[in-house]
Amino acid sequence: MAETDGTLLVTGGAGFIGSNFVRHVLTVEPKVRVVNLDLLTYAGRRENIEGLPDPVRHLFVHGDIRDQKLVHTIFSGEHPEMRSRHFGPVTRVAHFAAESHVDRSISGPEAFVSTNVSGTLALLEGARAAWGARRDVRFLHISTDEVYGSLGPEGFFTEESPLAPNSPYSASKAASDLLVRSYVHTFDLSCVITRCSNNYGPYQLPEKLIPVVIDRVLAGEAIPIYGDGRNVRDWLHVADHVEAAHRVLQKGEIGEVYNIGGHNEWANLDIVGLICDLIDTRTGRSGSRQLMSFVTDRPGHDRRYAINAGRMGREMGWKPRYIFQTGLAETVDWYLSHPEWVKAAKKAL
């Protein structure tokens, strides 16, 4: 599917990954119009979409993906702000909106089922009503490698790996994946799915590992490390992720799944050590590694994730650009240079 002049709906476009995707699309597609639908929960921030390239082609709509009336109005192009700005009906969707923090899903799983499952259902119904079985449209559903469960010390997740989610978060994402699949097969809806590894980079809230560690080191506070700290994740810079997701939106085969990985496996303990050293070097302090504190492991903590992203290379011509050490250093520098953003984000948590 080639670049179009139509309207692209990005859900969750004021969040971490979604806002980076909006910036990417506005940069690489000079004619696209973007409707950015975000509820602005703690995870979505207007500051994330300030200074966008060519903002006249961007329309922010404050709303809930579970609001079926609103969703149908946006898909049809009948939303008042879309009409006043001459945005046509939606022809593509990039669905990023989700509750995504595993710890929060353990303490309150209901919100994850409501947003991730019911919200995805509302969007699929909006697309079905607007598009039917058209093939010149596309619904991109953004998912996670956590739906596959846990790996042993060897091997990789592929697109054929069975779904075996172990947390309420990953279970809610697996359920939404299966809903998308069902709409392809039952209603002939033009959908594709991507499953990515752990993201990092600018605008990530200080509740996820890397920004939490940066914040704790700068504050001189204890850095909590679950279990023995040897849980392994494949880390993907958000800039690599949004480029890959955009390619799948343009060229992905309807009904297929594409794994997006960074080819960067790191144990949590080693990442914490790297961050401590980076901040010590940049601030002139020393001994930050002594802040590391081991705490009781969280329930259902998967031991290892690793993605085989070979299909993205073969079919999309994509591979990650970032080496983890380089991307992590840039990320640390971003947080060091945006203390006001961090301060405001922490207040919202």
pLDDT tier, 153 (very low <50, low <70, confident <90, very high otherwise): confident
pLDDT at 152 (0 to 100): 85
Q: What is the spatial distance between Cα 185 and Cα 250, in angstroms, rounded to a whole number?
A: 20
Q: What is the spatial distance between Cα 167 and Cα 103, in angstroms, rounded to a whole number?
A: 9
Average pLDDT, the chain: 96
307 DSSP assignment: B
Q: Domain boundaries in the chain?
A: 7-200+234-263+302-321
Q: 33, 128, 146, 19: which is closest to 75 by C-alpha?
A: 128
Q: What one-character-per-residue DSSP string does 129-198 give?
A: HHHTT-SS-EEEEEEEGGGG----SS--B-TTSPP---SHHHHHHHHHHHHHHHHHHHH---EEEEEE-E
Q: What is the spatial distance between Cα 209 and Cα 308, in angstroms, rounded to a whole number?
A: 23
Q: 240, 33, 252: which is closest to 139 by C-alpha?
A: 252
Cβ neighbours around 124 below 10 Å, total: 24
Contact call for residues 100 and 168 (beta carbons, < 8 A): no
State the catalytic residues.
Answer: 145-146, 169
pLDDT at 5 (0 to 100): 61
Comparing 237 with 2, which gets the higher pLDDT? Answer: 237
pLDDT in tens, 75-97: 999 999 999 999 999 999 999 99
pLDDT over 80 at 110, yes or no: yes
pLDDT-above-90 percentage for the chain = 95
Q: What is the pTM of this model?
A: 0.95
Q: Is the dihedral of CA 72, 77, 78, 82 positive or negative?
A: positive
Helix then strand then coil, in percent of the chain rounded to 5, is 45, 20, 35
pLDDT at 261 (0 to 100): 96
pLDDT at 3 (0 to 100): 42
pLDDT in tens, 175-214: 999 999 999 999 999 999 999 999 999 999 999 999 999 9
Please, is 212 exposed, middle or buried when counting C-beta atoms within 10 Å of its C-beta (0-12, 13-18, 19+)?
middle
Q: What is the spatial distance between Cα 143 and Cα 96, in angstroms, rounded to a whole number?
A: 8
pLDDT in tens, 243-268: 999 999 999 999 999 999 998 999 99
* Architecture of domain 7-200+234-263+302-321 in this structure: 3-Layer(aba) Sandwich (3.40)
List C-alpha distances in Å: 105 to 170, 173, 306.
9, 11, 22
Contact call for residues 157 and 308 (beta carbons, < 8 A): yes
**Kind and range of the H or E run holding 206:** none
pLDDT at 2 (0 to 100): 39
